[in-house]
């Protein structure tokens, strides 16, 4: 089983990686064969390199993350509420999101799913 302390630390490293604008730092949190589905229902990015490219693209918006409550740690999952804050098209935008991170025994994220939809987008 993954280590709850390292799982929670990975969430904070994820937020910090956005602060630094580093897709490499994000990708380093993922297992080599991880999957990312963001948002739910969109095509799944598979493998660390595809995941790195996905984050590099999404970071072009200057998106920063803000935790909006405690990280829930359950079994091999860390689940957390946050907001994505970005400037786009001349104004401040916010998206309310909940991510689920599932970890492998090496404390790497093996599966990420991002839950947000049209009702969670503000200022667009």
Contact 19, 63 (CB under 8 A): no
96 binds a copy of itself (CB under 8 A): yes
79 binds a copy of itself (CB under 8 A): yes
- DSSP states along 4-26: HHHHHHHHHHHHHHHHHT-HHHH
116 binds a copy of itself (CB under 8 A): yes
Per CB under 8 A, the list member of 17, 65, 84, 97 interacting with a copy of itself is 97
54 binds a copy of itself (CB under 8 A): no
Stretch that binds a copy of itself, among 18-26, 27-35, 84-92, 116-124 (CB under 8 A): 116-124
98 binds a copy of itself (CB under 8 A): yes
Element at 1 (helix H, strand E)? none
Per CB under 8 A, the list member of 69, 89, 90, 91 interacting with a copy of itself is 69
- DSSP states along 9-76: HHHHHHHHHHHHT-HHHHHTTEEEEEEEESSTTSPPEESHHHHHHHHHHHGGGT-EEEE-SPPEEETT
123 binds a copy of itself (CB under 8 A): no
Residues in the chain: 124
Task: Give yes or no: 38 in active site.
Answer: yes
Instruction: Rank residues 60 and 72 by Cβ distance to a copy of itself and give the closer one.
Output: 72
Task: Give yes or no: 14 in active site.
Answer: yes
């Amino acid at each position: 089983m993954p280590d709850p302390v390292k799982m929670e630390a990975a969430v904070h490293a994820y937020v910090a990686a956005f602060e630094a604008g580093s897709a490499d730092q994000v990708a380093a949190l993922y297992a080599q064969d991880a999957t990312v589905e963001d948002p739910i229902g969109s095509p799944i990015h598979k493998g660390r390199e595809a995941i790195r490219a996905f984050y590099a693209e999404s970071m072009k918006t200057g998106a920063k993350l803000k935790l909006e409550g405690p990280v829930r740690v359950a079994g091999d999952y860390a689940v957390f509420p946050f907001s994505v804050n970005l400037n786009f098209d001349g104004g401040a935008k916010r998206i309310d999101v909940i991510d689920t991170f599932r970890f492998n025994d090496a404390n790497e994220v093996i599966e990420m799913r991002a839950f947000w939809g049209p009702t969670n987008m503000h200022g667009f």
